[in-house]
Amino acid sequence: MFDLPSPFLQGIRIDESEAMSYLVLARKWRPAKFEDIVGQGFVTKTLQNAITSGRVAHAFLFTGARGVGKTSMARILAKSLNCENGPTVSPCNECENCKEITAGNCIDVLEIDGASNRGIDEVRELRENIKYFPSKSRNKIYIIDEVHMLTKEAFNALLKTLEEPPAHAVFIFATTEPHKIPITILSRCQRFDFKKISLKDICAHLKFILGKEGVKLSDASILQVAKAANGSMRDSQSILDQIISFGGANISDEDVNNILGVIDRSIIYSLVKAVLQKDAGMAFQVINNIYNYGYDINQFCFNILETFRDIIAFKVSKDPKELLDLSDGELSEIEGFAKDIDVNELLLIFNILYKAEEDITKSLTPKMILEMSVMKMINRFPVMPLAALMKKISLLEKRLPRNSGNVIDMANYPPKTVKSGGEKRPVSIAPPAPRAGASTKDFLEFLKDKSILIYSHVESLKAFDVKGDEIIITPTNSYTTEYFESSEIQSDLKQFAHDFFRRNFQILIKKVEKKGENSLYSNNGRKSNASKSSQRMERVLKGEGMDPVFSQVKELFEGEIIDFKYL
């Protein structure tokens, strides 16, 4: 699964006569030359070029997280400068200087812990000693680890030496917190930022070490160790040491999970599957098992969140194998999850889970928070893509009346001017001649174009007719009766009829008989009895007897009635 870098780490050679006690993997396989440093190609290449061209600075600052190779790089740089065959980009590791630097006992290369030698007195002593030439090497090199721990006074004392250092002096500072170093010091150093080592590089390095140590570990377990190290090579080697101590030469995936305290991927995928398939019972069972086994709920929630991130990444990526740090088996599982679900729905799930993780960290009942959040995810509604939503809104706009804003008040007819498109235009004082031969059916087509809202209510009527100077409306129920009794609706309807037939109209509404009444409200505006309300609610939830406009919106957006109430 993982390709080994080439050339790769050869390790530090340990004399068998001296190796009486066990040497941990982090020390045994510590990089011995530039090519051995994993995941810091930019830093390595720059330093090698500086040595080759003879442009080596007098002060370096190596920054980055723990275990990414800062101190190892400092030692290799020291060996490159002081090797008996150097300066060279390939220190021999055989000469006396190289061996002493590797062992940490070279008198011309001093490694100082900034945390325990942080005061002004220690820096003054350093200043006194630095003016003397090296005993047997080309350069006197000072490697100060965790340099940010020095006091303000110590930095000030060091500043003068950095401004005018002796020709034979080289400083190499290392820190995990460069923001704590005074800008006056930073400006006098060449800074190199070490990045966290990728999972791929850590896995390849661990696989190499396991091969040399004669230990068998699956790719999935190697990946778990690399993830637990969080970008630190030293941490990954320390974890591997612990695993080998526990399991010996043959270690199972279950052993690795138990040592690391991580949850088996199959359990995580079980909950993901339950969420995607909307299986609440299965989801609750998985969470209950996790809780009973004593796993950390917050960590489990993060694992689920991480998995949904991987599913989203798999759907949007052209080459998911490069984007996701997963084993082949895990990639297959993710592919299966991503197959039948939309990205927008996955984003909805992710947002719910992200909020849940935040709440869990502050809650005294994390299990309950996770359970209820999972229920929200399971009871999610399909999310309509934005493009489809805009298309449907555009279609709805086309159905809306185009001239509903230009209704003329019949009481003041004929007006001298009417507004059209924001501008005033003159109109004829005399009303137009009546239209002959027009029918009610023709008028309905005209009304549909003018006001889809009124037309939708007309469609729901028991009968609608135009006779003489009357528009006769026969409602189906009291709801449509109340709608057409509205003075605004009657004014609009009479105006549309006038525009079409070119004459004035009155509206006649035939009252609905009380028998078979199915409105939630009676004629006096008060609520009907509880049984009628219940029947009405039941009918609406089934999609019967609803407002015709709402019915069209429901059909257009492929909606589902969850609940309703009258305002």
Distance CA 80, CA 85 (A): 9
**Every domain range in the chain assigned CATH 3.40.50.300:** 40-193
Distance CA 122, CA 158 (A): 10
Residue 521's pLDDT is: 38
Q: Which residues contact 17 (CB under 8 A, 6 or more apart)?
A: none
User: pLDDT-derived band of residue 217, with 50, 70 and 90 as boundaries?
Assistant: confident
Q: Are 138 and 88 in contact (CB under 8 A)?
A: no
How many Cα atoms within 13 Å fall on the side-chain side of residue 280? 9
The gap between the terminal CA atoms of the chain, to the nearest Å, is 63
DSSP letter, residue 113: E
Residue type, 472: I
Q: What is the 3-state secondary structure (H, E, C) of 392-450?
A: HHHHHHHHCCCCHHHCCCHHHCCCCEEEECCEEEECCCCCCCCCCCCCHHHHHHHHHHH
Query: 371-426 pLDDT, tens per residue?
Result: 999 999 998 876 666 666 667 666 666 555 444 333 333 334 334 444 445 555 54
341 or 389, higher pLDDT: 341
Distance CA 19, CA 10 (A): 18
Coil, strand or helix: which one is 466?
Answer: strand
Q: Are 250 and 265 in contact (CB under 8 A)?
A: no
Closest CA to 231 of 314, 114, 325: 325
Q: How many CB atoms lie within 10 A of CB 510?
A: 13
Distance CA 501, CA 192 (A): 86
Query: 47-77 pLDDT, tens per residue?
Result: 999 999 989 999 999 999 988 999 999 999 9
Query: 465-520 pLDDT, tens per residue?
Result: 888 888 988 888 877 888 888 888 889 899 998 888 888 899 988 876 554 444 44
Q: What is the 3-state secondary structure (H, E, C) of 198-234?
A: CHHHHHHHHHHHHHHHCCECCHHHHHHHHHHHCCCHH
CATH class of 40-193: alpha beta
Query: 1-59 pLDDT, tens per residue?
Result: 444 443 334 444 444 444 446 788 888 888 988 999 998 989 999 999 999 998 999 99
Coil, strand or helix: which one is 110?
Answer: strand
Per the prediction, the chain carries an average pLDDT of: 80
Q: What is the 3-state secondary structure (H, E, C) of 499-534?
A: HHHCCCCEEEECCCCCCCCCCCECCCCCECCHHHHH
Nearest 5°: the CA angle 521, 525, 530 is 35
Closest CA to 403 of 447, 441, 458: 447
Residue 417 tokens read as 């001017």
Residue type, 395: L
Which secondary structure element, helix H or strand E, spans residue 281, and what is its range?
Answer: helix 280-293
Which secondary structure element, helix H or strand E, spans residue 94, and what is its range?
Answer: none
Query: 281-330 pLDDT, tens per residue?
Result: 999 999 999 898 888 898 899 989 999 999 999 988 888 877 787 777 88
Q: What is the mean pLDDT of residues 238-258?
A: 83
**Every domain range in the chain assigned CATH 1.20.272.10:** 265-378
Q: What is the 3-state secondary structure (H, E, C) of 135-204?
A: CCCCCEEEEEECHHHCCHHHHHHHHHHHHCCCCCEEEEEEECCHHHCCHHHHCCCEEEECCCCCHHHHHH
Q: Are 299 and 318 in contact (CB under 8 A)?
A: no
The CATH number given to 265-378 is 1.20.272.10
Residue 63's pLDDT is: 93
Q: What is the mean pLDDT of residues 117-143?
A: 88
Closest CA to 380 of 560, 181, 170, 522: 560
Residue 548's pLDDT is: 60
Instruction: Using a pLDDT cut of 90, give the percent of the chain over it.
Output: 27
CATH class of 407-509: alpha beta
Residue 147 tokens read as 């340099």
C-alpha torsion sign, points 320, 322, 325, 326: positive
DSSP letter, residue 545: S
